[in-house]
Amino acid sequence: MRTLAFTVLIVTFLTGCQESPTGRNRLALVPDAVLADMGQDSFEKMKQQNPVIKRPDVNRLVQCITEALVSAAQAEYPEAPMPQSWEVAVFDNPTPNAFALPGGKIGVHSGLLQLAENQSQMATVIGHEIAHVLADHGNERLTQQLGLQAGMLLVGLFTESEIAEDQIQQALGIGAQLGITLPFSRAHEEEADLMGLDIMARAGFEPEQSVRLWQNMAKASGAQPLEFLSTHPNHDTRIASLKSQVAAARSVFETVPPASCQI
Ligand SMILES: [Zn+2]
């Protein structure tokens, strides 16, 4: 890990910035294969440590939505590095949440199935999570962490053993236990929202339902903020920003056959 950290630091100086799929400057320097392995390991652990729902109807539904979104994402963002395969699991957890890990591992909470009124609202959240993966947001966050730690190694404040697995998980946005979802930055959230909206429209899910979904999230949160809301931007800001993009997404939606996954 020390070697990786130093490599990242040196490469940082050598390569400068790259662009994200929406043209944002960023640094994402961890090799994709390394990150995909980390995502896969974390996902396996989460499935062992948390109850997974094995109802065929539920799994068919999320599988159908995910497959439709993934093929639309490929068409919409052909330049983005695509995981070799995607896997989706439904976790028995009442909070309306979802997450995605590098390597194409997606987790959906059963609480999201309760909250979403239709397939397009489910697709809003899963599309947002797929966008985090395609835009390599976990890589950016890990690059930042390792960059900082590599600097600390250089001045002797940090030892190799202190770069622990939980820090890697932190960079990926998850805790070992389900229910601890760490915030992505505001820039990452906005990018995932915009890409997610494009992806869902291209896949034949009604873009207007994205606004409805976030309104439902806001309503459900009541006095106690839901986890997803508390780690994501203020819902009024998010709804306003989506509303301003819905017309463009609708014009894409009208050119494709409607999705039919049902709920
Ligand atoms: Zn997000």
C-alpha of residue 161 to centroid of ligand 1, in Å? 30
C-alpha of residue 192 to centroid of ligand 1, in Å? 6
C-alpha of residue 162 to centroid of ligand 1, in Å? 28
Strand pairing class (87-91; 25-26): unpaired
User: Any idea how long the chain is?
Assistant: 263
- Nearest 5 degrees, angle CA 51-CA 171-CA 219? 60
C-alpha of residue 193 to centroid of ligand 1, in Å? 8
Q: Which pLDDT does position 104 carry in this prediction?
A: 92
**What average pLDDT does the structure give for the chain?**
80
DSSP symbols for 205-257: --THHHHHHHHHHHHHHTTS--HHHHTS--HHHHHHHHHHHHHHHHHHHTTSP
Which residues belong to the active site?
129
C-alpha of residue 157 to centroid of ligand 1, in Å? 33
Q: Which pLDDT does position 13 carry in this prediction?
A: 45
Q: Which pLDDT does position 244 carry in this prediction?
A: 94
Q: Read off the pLDDT of residues 62-101 as tens digits, 9 standing for 90 and up.
A: 999 999 999 999 999 998 888 888 999 999 998 888 888 8
For residue 48, is it left (φ>0), alpha (ψ between -120 and 50) or beta?
Answer: alpha
Q: Whole-model pTM?
A: 0.81
Amino acid type, 80: A
Q: Which pLDDT does position 108 carry in this prediction?
A: 94
Q: Is 20 exposed, middle or buried (0-12, 13-18, 19+ CB in 10 A)?
A: buried
Q: Which pLDDT does position 141 carry in this prediction?
A: 77
Residue with tokens 């990150």: 35
Residue 25 token pair: 């400057």
Q: Read off the pLDDT of residues 105-156 as tens digits, 9 standing for 90 and up.
A: 999 999 999 999 999 999 999 999 999 999 888 777 777 766 655 555 445 5
